Amino acid sequence: MKKLLLILAVVTVYVLHQDFWNWRTAYPLVFGFVPIGLFYQGCFSVAASLLMWMLVKFAWPGHLEREVGENASEEDAPK
Amino acid sequence: MIPAIVVFIYLAVVLYIGIFAFRRSKGKEKAEDYFLASRSLGPFVFLFSLFGTNMTAFAILGSSGHAFSNGIVTFGLMASSSGLVIPLSIFFIGTRVWALGKKHGFMTPVQMFRDRWECGHIGTVIFAVQAVLLVPYIIIGIMGGGTTLNTISGGFVPYWFGGAIVAMVVMSYVFFGGMRGTAWVNTFQTVLFLTFGAVALIVIGVGMGGFRNAAQSMLAAPALAPLMTRERISPLYFFSYTFIPLSAIAFPHILIFCLTARKMGQFKKTVIFYPLCIMAIWLPCVFLGVMANRVTDVPEIRAKQEARRVLATQGKTMAPEARDELREKAAGDDVIMILLKRYAPFWLAGLLGAGIMAAVMASDSQILALSTMFTEDVFAFYGGKRRFGEGVQIQTGRIFIVLITMFAYAVALRAPETIFELAIQYAFSGYAALSPLLVAALFWKGSTKWGALATTAWTAAAVVAVAIFQHSVPAPAPGPATLVWSLGGWEVLTRTPGGTAVFGFMPVVPMVIVSALLMIVVSMLTRKPKDATIAKYFESAR
């Protein structure tokens, strides 16, 4: 279930990048000078960072690290 | 002249860092130390050097130049899509490659492919294609260096001399410092150009009397208002661009950098902060590139806009050579430098110029990666290391660094394309099409060396085909694309003002899809590696 939700989150963020609804308009101008299309994509970058935080928190491939650790201790072990 | 002096001081500091790294590593004449800094980079240096190595000349010069001509769309096209796709690929692929490198001692992607698919010469073919595709990236750095020094010195330092200085400095610290020197310099440079964006935005914003008026007057001018939206680019083209960042993890210098982390935990901060770092540098550069269109009291900017206007109104009736000439005049790769010269005080323009140089000089890790690949994948693989020893291997790597830099410099003097186009059309699309190699090697037990060969051969053929096509069919004037081939009412192949379109997509889309399909189909038809080899890579096969 956790895996499915994370896949869904990645797909959703990817789809949100294609913001065709802001395509032909500059309005509203955020802070009076930033076109909405640019502001949206800036917010998208923050969302991408949050997504990566979620992946690190809930899907970190810790087994790879353990394998390397085991491998290193096997090599270090007295023969 | 003062800004140029500040930039020269910066270059001297960078050179010193490289030589300091050389002293630090003296006595450890081991290939792993020279080429991978003994796999010992800490979290701060790892994050900043990995990010810095991926930010080349186009991060500042190309992005603002592209935004000057195409508007705010530039940020969504390349920056925010990269902010998602690159950390994802580092998370899924970079961590696995790090673990395999640590376990089996790999120093290059080709070493891993050779082991994973039990192949020798096919690995050499992959090396050759990777090497040929990496060279344009190195050329970008030298071209950017030439442009920056030329502009910042007010034309006093000619383009050829600026490019030569940048090439010499980069070559020297890579030559002496190896990976340690390159990583330290990259970290220093990343700190510098991350602060560049914010400072440039404030200084230029104050100089222009605030951005509100500039934004309003742009929206009021019919020729400039579209730059504040994305209507100049089609949604299909925008979607196509999300395939380009797939190239990042397939670039050998990025993958080799992944091998330098001391612990896997160092990837955590890197993937989380990567999108924010990209935003910090690209957002101001894109915005300033768009706003440069309002600085009509600067003759250079007026000349660019006039060239753009003539191209749009009379381009259709012009000869292709005349159109190309106008395109070069209209290109905005130097607009950010022009803005700094116009609005920043001399000393600050120098510091900000140094920030730009920091991004421009990211070609160091590409040069080092090529050298690592040559010495490991060719020299060592074909018996050089066994016969002559590790010391000679490192010296061979150093000689290679000198030769490749000289070659790249010679090409940079002749290349007519703008920085942005050159990078996208050849290196990025090609590497994106090579990314299925990594996915197949790490996630699919059924992949084979023949599948890898088919993918690599297709990539090389596709890049050459696009280059020949664009050379043979001249780019049309801004407006409708030239239809070259249609089938059943579908526009299959068109030549656009900026490149090529296949069914309306950038060529990178069919290149990646066909590449992946070839890997799947050919692998299914050919013999897999031995079970023992597969077990090295997949826990479930043990």
DSSP letters spanning A35-75: -HHHHHHHHHHHHHHHHHHHHHHHH--HHHHHHHHHHHHHH
Question: Is residue B240 less than 8 Å (CB to CB) from chain A?
Answer: no
Q: B2-11, B260-269, B373-382, B521-530 — which is least confidently predicted?
A: B2-11
* pLDDT at position A70: 65
Which residue in chain B is spatially nearest to A69 when comparing CA positions?
A: B103
Average pLDDT over residues B293-308: 91
Tell me the CA distances in angstroms from A29 to A25, A26, B55, B212, B493, one per residue in order: 10, 7, 29, 9, 38
From CA B148, how far away is CA B54, in angstroms rounded? 19
Query: B75 with B66: CB under 8 angstroms?
Result: no
Within B298-389, residue ranges assigned H as helices are 299-314, 320-330, 335-343, 346-360, 363-373, 384-388
* pLDDT at position A76: 47
Of residues A46 and A22, which shows the higher confidence score? A46
Which chain B positions have a beta carbon within 8 Å of A75's beta carbon? none
Which residue in chain B is spatially nearest to A52 when comparing CA positions?
A: B272
Which chain A positions have a beta carbon within 8 Å of B102's beta carbon? 68, 71-72
From CA B388, how far away is CA B111, in angstroms rounded? 20
What's the half-sphere exposure (Cβ side, CA atoms, 13 Å) at B306? Answer: 7
Query: Whose CA is closest to B454, among B439, B468, B466, B436?
Result: B436
**What is chain B's mean pLDDT, rounded?**
88
Query: B286 with B67: CB under 8 angstroms?
Result: yes
A73 min Cα distance to partner chain B (Å): 11
* pLDDT at position B421: 54
* pLDDT at position B471: 81
By CB atoms closer than 10 A (0-12, 13-18, 19+), residue B35 is buried
* pLDDT at position B26: 60
Contact A26 B76 (CB under 8 A): no
Query: How would you classify residue B479: left for phi > 0, otherwise alpha for psi between -120 and 50, otherwise beta?
Result: left
pLDDT category at B5 given cuts 50, 70, 90 is confident
Contact B95 A51 (CB under 8 A): no
Query: B169 with B329: CB under 8 angstroms?
Result: no
Query: A52 with B275: CB under 8 angstroms?
Result: yes
| Count of CB atoms situated within 10 Å of the CB of B439 | 18
Of B93-102, B278-287, B359-368, where does the model show the most confidence?
Answer: B93-102
CB-closest option in A33, A51, A56 to B268: A56
3 state SS for B472-491: HCCCCCCCCCEEEEEECCEE
Which chain B positions have a beta carbon within 8 Å of A19's beta carbon? 76
Question: Is residue B239 less than 8 Å (CB to CB) from chain A?
Answer: yes
What predicted TM-score, i.e. pTM, was given to this entire model? 0.91
For residue B496, what is the enclosing H or E element? strand B490-496
Which chain A positions have a beta carbon within 8 Å of B103's beta carbon? 67-68, 71
Question: Which of A16, A29, A45, A50 to probe the B interface (max B CBs under 10 A)?
Answer: A45
pLDDT (tens digit per residue) in B126-172: 999 999 888 877 887 788 788 778 877 878 889 889 889 888 998 99
| Count of CB atoms situated within 10 Å of the CB of A60 | 16
Contacts of B219 (CB under 8 A, 6+ apart): A26, B225, B228
A4 min Cα distance to partner chain B (Å): 16
Question: Is residue B91 less than 8 Å (CB to CB) from chain A?
Answer: yes
Contact B229 A23 (CB under 8 A): yes
CB-closest option in B72, B81, B275 to A37: B72
ipTM above 0.85, yes or no: yes
Strands B499-502 and B482-487: unpaired
Which chain A positions have a beta carbon within 8 Å of B264's beta carbon? 64-65, 68
Question: Is residue B287 less than 8 Å (CB to CB) from chain A?
Answer: yes
Output phi, psi for B500, to 5 deg. Answer: -135, 150
| Chain mean position to CA B289 | 19
CB-closest option in A14, A23, A68 to B102: A68
Contact A65 B264 (CB under 8 A): yes
Residues 177-216 in B contacting A (C-alpha not used; CB under 8 Å)? 210-212, 214-215
Question: Is residue B83 less than 8 Å (CB to CB) from chain A?
Answer: yes
How many cross-chain Cβ pairs, A to B, lie less than 8 Å apart? 126
Q: B11-15, B408-412, B425-429 — which is least confidently predicted?
A: B425-429
| Count of CB atoms situated within 10 Å of the CB of B493 | 18
Tell me the CA distances in angstroms from B509 to B3, B76, B236, B238, B499, one per residue in order: 43, 17, 10, 11, 14
Output phi, psi for A28, to 5 deg. Answer: -75, 150
* pLDDT at position B420: 45
Say whether B81 sits in a helix, a strand or coil. helix
Query: B376 with B35: CB under 8 angstroms?
Result: yes
Of residues A70 and B85, which shows the higher confidence score? B85
Average pLDDT over residues B222-228: 92
Contact B215 A33 (CB under 8 A): yes
Output phi, psi for B369, to 5 deg. Answer: -60, -45
Query: A2 with A10: CB under 8 angstroms?
Result: no
Question: Is residue B264 less than 8 Å (CB to CB) from chain A?
Answer: yes
Question: Is residue B314 less than 8 Å (CB to CB) from chain A?
Answer: no
Which residue in chain A is spatially nearest to B225 when comparing CA positions?
A: A26
**What is chain A's mean pLDDT, rounded?**
89
What's the half-sphere exposure (Cβ side, CA atoms, 13 Å) at B118? Answer: 11
* pLDDT at position B29: 67
pLDDT (tens digit per residue) in B163-221: 898 889 989 988 888 899 999 988 988 888 788 778 888 888 888 888 898 899 999 99
Tell me the CA distances in angstroms from B224 to A55, B163, B479, one per residue in order: 41, 33, 16
A41 min Cα distance to partner chain B (Å): 6
| Chain mean position to CA B355 | 17
Question: Is residue B430 less than 8 Å (CB to CB) from chain A?
Answer: no
Question: Is residue A52 less than 8 Å (CB to CB) from chain B?
Answer: yes
For residue B492, what is the enclosing H or E element? strand B490-496
pLDDT (tens digit per residue) in B364-417: 888 999 999 999 999 999 987 778 777 888 889 899 999 999 988 888 887 665
Which residue in chain B is spatially nearest to A17 when comparing CA positions?
A: B81
Query: Whose CA is closest to B65, among B281, B330, B277, B260?
Result: B330
* pLDDT at position B313: 87
Q: Which amino acid is at B447?
A: S
Query: Whose CA is closest to B503, among B516, B487, B514?
Result: B487
Query: B196 with B189: CB under 8 angstroms?
Result: no
pLDDT(A50) > 80: yes
Which chain A positions have a beta carbon within 8 Å of B91's beta carbon? 52, 55-56
Question: Is residue B238 less than 8 Å (CB to CB) from chain A?
Answer: yes
* pLDDT at position B245: 94
pLDDT (tens digit per residue) in B431-490: 999 999 999 999 999 999 999 999 999 999 999 898 888 888 988 887 788 899 999 889
